[in-house]
Protein backbone atom coordinates (compact mmCIF):
# COMPACT_ATOMS: atom_id res chain seq x y z
CA UNK A 1 0.00 0.00 0.00
CA UNK A 2 1.60 3.24 -1.15
CA UNK A 3 0.09 6.68 -1.72
CA UNK A 4 -2.03 9.53 -0.37
CA UNK A 5 -5.18 9.31 1.76
CA UNK A 6 -7.38 12.38 2.24
CA UNK A 7 -8.91 12.33 5.72
CA UNK A 8 -11.66 14.53 7.15
CA UNK A 9 -10.52 14.65 10.78
CA UNK A 10 -13.23 15.35 13.37
CA UNK A 11 -12.59 17.53 16.44
CA UNK A 12 -11.08 15.56 19.31
CA UNK A 13 -8.41 13.17 18.03
CA UNK A 14 -4.90 14.39 17.30
CA UNK A 15 -3.27 14.06 13.89
CA UNK A 16 -1.15 11.25 15.33
CA UNK A 17 -4.31 9.42 16.37
CA UNK A 18 -5.46 9.50 12.74
CA UNK A 19 -2.08 8.31 11.47
CA UNK A 20 -2.05 5.49 14.04
CA UNK A 21 -5.49 4.36 12.87
CA UNK A 22 -4.42 4.32 9.23
CA UNK A 23 -1.22 2.47 10.10
CA UNK A 24 -3.25 -0.27 11.80
CA UNK A 25 -5.80 -0.39 9.01
CA UNK A 26 -3.41 -0.65 6.08
CA UNK A 27 -0.52 -2.40 7.82
CA UNK A 28 2.17 -0.03 6.54
CA UNK A 29 4.14 2.98 7.70
CA UNK A 30 2.01 6.15 7.74
CA UNK A 31 2.52 9.84 8.31
CA UNK A 32 0.87 13.19 7.65
CA UNK A 33 1.80 16.41 5.89
CA UNK A 34 0.67 19.26 8.11
CA UNK A 35 -0.70 18.84 11.63
CA UNK A 36 -4.23 19.60 12.75
CA UNK A 37 -4.46 19.98 16.52
CA UNK A 38 -7.25 18.19 18.44
CA UNK A 39 -9.72 21.11 18.49
CA UNK A 40 -9.58 21.60 14.72
CA UNK A 41 -11.40 19.51 12.14
CA UNK A 42 -11.03 19.10 8.41
CA UNK A 43 -8.59 17.98 5.78
CA UNK A 44 -5.50 16.03 6.81
CA UNK A 45 -3.13 14.74 4.15
CA UNK A 46 -1.91 11.29 5.15
CA UNK A 47 0.78 9.31 3.36
CA UNK A 48 1.25 5.55 3.33
CA UNK A 49 4.28 3.33 2.72
CA UNK A 50 7.15 4.78 0.66
CA UNK A 51 5.02 7.87 -0.03
CA UNK A 52 5.69 9.12 3.50
CA UNK A 53 8.89 10.50 1.94
CA UNK A 54 6.76 12.92 -0.07
CA UNK A 55 5.61 14.94 2.97
CA UNK A 56 8.34 17.53 2.39
CA UNK A 57 6.67 18.50 -0.91
CA UNK A 58 3.23 18.99 0.67
CA UNK A 59 3.83 20.81 3.95
CA UNK A 60 4.39 24.19 2.25
CA UNK A 61 1.06 24.30 0.43
CA UNK A 62 -1.42 27.11 1.12
CA UNK A 63 -4.37 26.29 3.38
CA UNK A 64 -8.04 27.29 3.48
CA UNK A 65 -10.12 27.41 6.65
CA UNK A 66 -13.58 28.16 7.93
CA UNK A 67 -13.65 29.56 11.44
CA UNK A 68 -16.20 31.03 13.81
CA UNK A 69 -14.67 33.72 16.02
CA UNK A 70 -16.08 35.23 19.17
CA UNK A 71 -15.02 38.87 18.99
CA UNK A 72 -14.36 41.04 22.03
CA UNK A 73 -12.75 38.38 24.27
CA UNK A 74 -9.11 37.35 23.95
CA UNK A 75 -8.07 34.08 25.59
CA UNK A 76 -4.73 32.57 26.55
CA UNK A 77 -5.01 29.90 23.86
CA UNK A 78 -6.86 31.73 21.09
CA UNK A 79 -9.84 29.41 21.55
CA UNK A 80 -12.63 28.68 24.02
CA UNK A 81 -10.49 26.34 26.14
CA UNK A 82 -8.27 29.16 27.36
CA UNK A 83 -8.78 31.74 30.08
CA UNK A 84 -10.06 35.20 29.17
CA UNK A 85 -7.21 37.67 29.46
CA UNK A 86 -8.60 40.77 27.76
CA UNK A 87 -11.87 42.37 26.71
CA UNK A 88 -11.65 44.36 23.50
CA UNK A 89 -13.83 46.42 21.21
CA UNK A 90 -15.63 44.30 18.65
CA UNK A 91 -13.79 44.52 15.34
CA UNK A 92 -15.74 46.03 12.47
CA UNK A 93 -16.42 44.19 9.25
CA UNK A 94 -14.11 46.59 7.41
CA UNK A 95 -11.28 45.98 9.89
CA UNK A 96 -11.63 42.23 9.45
CA UNK A 97 -11.67 42.40 5.65
CA UNK A 98 -8.58 44.63 5.72
CA UNK A 99 -6.56 41.92 7.47
CA UNK A 100 -4.76 40.73 4.35
CA UNK A 101 -1.11 40.59 3.32
CA UNK A 102 2.03 39.70 5.24
CA UNK A 103 1.69 39.74 9.03
CA UNK A 104 3.64 38.72 12.15
CA UNK A 105 1.61 36.33 14.28
CA UNK A 106 2.39 34.77 17.65
CA UNK A 107 1.99 30.98 17.64
CA UNK A 108 -0.94 30.10 19.97
CA UNK A 109 -0.37 28.08 23.13
CA UNK A 110 -3.00 25.58 21.97
CA UNK A 111 -1.22 24.83 18.69
CA UNK A 112 0.49 21.60 17.70
CA UNK A 113 3.87 23.27 17.22
CA UNK A 114 6.65 21.59 19.14
CA UNK A 115 8.33 23.48 22.00
CA UNK A 116 11.44 21.71 23.31
CA UNK A 117 10.27 18.54 21.60
CA UNK A 118 6.69 18.53 22.94
CA UNK A 119 3.41 19.77 21.45
CA UNK A 120 2.47 23.20 22.78
CA UNK A 121 -1.11 22.21 23.52
CA UNK A 122 0.09 19.38 25.77
CA UNK A 123 2.34 21.74 27.70
CA UNK A 124 -0.53 24.18 28.12
CA UNK A 125 -2.88 21.48 29.42
CA UNK A 126 -0.30 20.66 32.10
CA UNK A 127 -0.02 24.32 33.05
CA UNK A 128 3.53 24.71 31.75
CA UNK A 129 4.22 28.34 30.80
CA UNK A 130 6.34 28.77 27.68
CA UNK A 131 7.27 31.70 25.48
CA UNK A 132 5.65 31.15 22.12
CA UNK A 133 7.53 32.09 18.93
CA UNK A 134 6.30 34.46 16.23
CA UNK A 135 6.02 33.65 12.55
CA UNK A 136 5.61 35.67 9.41
CA UNK A 137 2.45 34.59 7.61
CA UNK A 138 0.60 35.68 4.51
CA UNK A 139 -3.16 36.11 4.57
CA UNK A 140 -4.13 35.86 0.91
CA UNK A 141 -7.82 36.56 1.47
CA UNK A 142 -10.43 37.03 4.20
CA UNK A 143 -14.11 36.55 3.35
CA UNK A 144 -16.69 37.43 5.96
CA UNK A 145 -19.39 34.80 5.52
CA UNK A 146 -21.43 35.91 8.52
CA UNK A 147 -21.15 39.03 10.68
CA UNK A 148 -23.41 38.87 13.73
CA UNK A 149 -21.41 40.53 16.53
CA UNK A 150 -19.97 39.28 18.74
CA UNK A 151 -19.81 36.24 16.40
CA UNK A 152 -18.27 36.25 12.95
CA UNK A 153 -17.65 33.43 10.49
CA UNK A 154 -14.64 33.79 8.22
CA UNK A 155 -13.31 31.94 5.20
CA UNK A 156 -9.52 32.27 5.14
CA UNK A 157 -6.90 31.55 2.48
CA UNK A 158 -3.49 31.64 4.14
CA UNK A 159 0.10 30.56 3.69
CA UNK A 160 1.46 27.38 5.22
CA UNK A 161 2.26 27.73 8.92
CA UNK A 162 -0.47 30.31 9.61
CA UNK A 163 -2.41 29.78 12.85
CA UNK A 164 -6.09 30.68 12.69
CA UNK A 165 -6.16 31.22 16.47
CA UNK A 166 -3.48 33.87 16.06
CA UNK A 167 -5.64 35.67 13.52
CA UNK A 168 -8.54 35.59 16.00
CA UNK A 169 -6.29 37.10 18.66
CA UNK A 170 -5.20 39.91 16.33
CA UNK A 171 -8.90 40.65 15.75
CA UNK A 172 -9.45 40.83 19.51
CA UNK A 173 -11.29 37.55 19.85
CA UNK A 174 -10.92 33.78 20.01
CA UNK A 175 -11.91 30.82 17.83
CA UNK A 176 -15.02 28.80 18.60
CA UNK A 177 -14.48 26.42 15.69
CA UNK A 178 -11.70 25.80 13.16
CA UNK A 179 -12.15 23.69 10.04
CA UNK A 180 -9.52 23.17 7.33
CA UNK A 181 -11.30 22.96 4.00
CA UNK A 182 -8.36 22.72 1.61
CA UNK A 183 -4.62 22.14 1.37
CA UNK A 184 -3.23 23.35 -1.93
CA UNK A 185 -5.31 21.64 -4.65
CA UNK A 186 -6.83 19.08 -2.25
CA UNK A 187 -10.37 19.62 -0.92
CA UNK A 188 -12.06 18.19 2.16
CA UNK A 189 -15.07 17.27 0.01
CA UNK A 190 -12.86 14.62 -1.63
CA UNK A 191 -11.77 13.02 1.65
CA UNK A 192 -12.21 9.23 1.69
CA UNK A 193 -10.24 6.96 4.01
CA UNK A 194 -11.14 3.96 1.86
CA UNK A 195 -9.29 5.36 -1.15
CA UNK A 196 -5.52 5.44 -1.52
CA UNK A 197 -4.44 7.83 -4.27
CA UNK A 198 -1.26 6.93 -6.20
CA UNK A 199 2.00 8.69 -5.27
CA UNK A 200 1.93 10.85 -8.39
CA UNK A 201 -1.46 12.24 -7.37
CA UNK A 202 0.10 13.53 -4.15
CA UNK A 203 2.39 15.74 -6.25
CA UNK A 204 -0.27 17.29 -8.46
CA UNK A 205 0.92 20.76 -7.43
CA UNK A 206 4.41 20.09 -8.85
CA UNK A 207 5.47 20.33 -12.48
CA UNK A 208 5.79 16.91 -14.11
CA UNK A 209 8.00 15.30 -16.71
CA UNK A 210 7.35 12.06 -18.54
CA UNK A 211 10.46 9.87 -18.77
CA UNK A 212 11.61 7.44 -21.39
CA UNK A 213 12.49 3.89 -20.31
CA UNK A 214 16.18 4.76 -20.58
CA UNK A 215 15.79 7.92 -18.50
CA UNK A 216 13.79 6.04 -15.88
CA UNK A 217 16.61 3.53 -15.49
CA UNK A 218 19.14 6.32 -14.99
CA UNK A 219 16.93 8.12 -12.46
CA UNK A 220 16.28 4.95 -10.44
CA UNK A 221 20.03 4.60 -10.03
CA UNK A 222 20.31 8.21 -8.84
CA UNK A 223 21.75 9.48 -12.11
CA UNK A 224 20.84 12.94 -13.40
CA UNK A 225 19.17 13.56 -16.75
CA UNK A 226 19.20 16.65 -19.00
CA UNK A 227 16.63 19.29 -18.12
CA UNK A 228 15.73 22.16 -15.82
CA UNK A 229 12.83 23.24 -13.65
CA UNK A 230 11.88 25.79 -11.00
CA UNK A 231 11.85 23.90 -7.72
CA UNK A 232 11.07 20.19 -7.45
CA UNK A 233 9.68 18.31 -10.45
CA UNK A 234 7.87 14.93 -10.47
CA UNK A 235 9.44 12.42 -12.87
CA UNK A 236 7.18 9.59 -13.96
CA UNK A 237 6.91 6.71 -16.42
CA UNK A 238 3.52 5.51 -17.64
CA UNK A 239 1.81 7.31 -14.77
CA UNK A 240 4.06 5.78 -12.10
CA UNK A 241 6.17 8.12 -9.98
CA UNK A 242 9.87 7.38 -10.46
CA UNK A 243 11.45 10.25 -8.52
CA UNK A 244 11.32 13.87 -7.49
CA UNK A 245 14.23 15.86 -8.86
CA UNK A 246 15.70 19.36 -8.71
CA UNK A 247 17.73 21.36 -11.19
CA UNK A 248 21.47 21.54 -10.92
CA UNK A 249 22.75 23.54 -13.83
CA UNK A 250 21.28 22.03 -16.98
CA UNK A 251 20.46 18.70 -15.32
CA UNK A 252 17.66 17.28 -13.21
CA UNK A 253 19.17 15.48 -10.22
CA UNK A 254 16.97 12.93 -8.38
CA UNK A 255 16.58 13.64 -4.67
CA UNK A 256 13.74 11.24 -3.76
CA UNK A 257 13.75 8.02 -5.76
CA UNK A 258 11.12 5.27 -5.77
CA UNK A 259 11.82 1.67 -6.74
CA UNK A 260 10.10 0.13 -9.73
CA UNK A 261 6.66 -1.27 -8.92
List the catalytic residues: 37
CA distance 177 to 117: 27
CA distance 184 to 79: 25
CB 115 within 8 A of CB 124: no
The HSE-up count of residue 121 (CA atoms within 13 Å, CB side) is 19
Instruction: Select from 228, 261, 249 the least CA-distant residue to 236.
Output: 261
Q: What is the DSSP string of the chain?
A: --EEEEEEEPSSS-HHHHHHHHHHHHSS-EEESS---TT-EEEEEEEEGGGGGGGGGTTTS-EEEEEEEEETEEESSSBTTSPEEEE-PPPPHHHHHT--EEEEEEPPTTS--EETTEEHHHHHHTT---PPPEEEEEEEEEEEEEEETTEEEEEEEE-TT--HHHHHHHTTEEEEEEEEEEETTEEGGG--TT--B-HHHHTTTS-EEEPPHHHHHHHHTT--EE---SS-EEEEETTEEEEEEEEETTEEEEEEE----
- Residue count (the chain): 261
Amino acid sequence: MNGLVLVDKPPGPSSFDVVKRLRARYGVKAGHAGTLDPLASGLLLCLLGPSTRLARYLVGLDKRYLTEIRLGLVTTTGDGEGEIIEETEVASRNAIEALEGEIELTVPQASAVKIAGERAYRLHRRGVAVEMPTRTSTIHSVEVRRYEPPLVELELHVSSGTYVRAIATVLGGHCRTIRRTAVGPFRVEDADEDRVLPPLAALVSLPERELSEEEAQLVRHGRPIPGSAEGPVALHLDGQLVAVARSEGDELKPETVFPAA
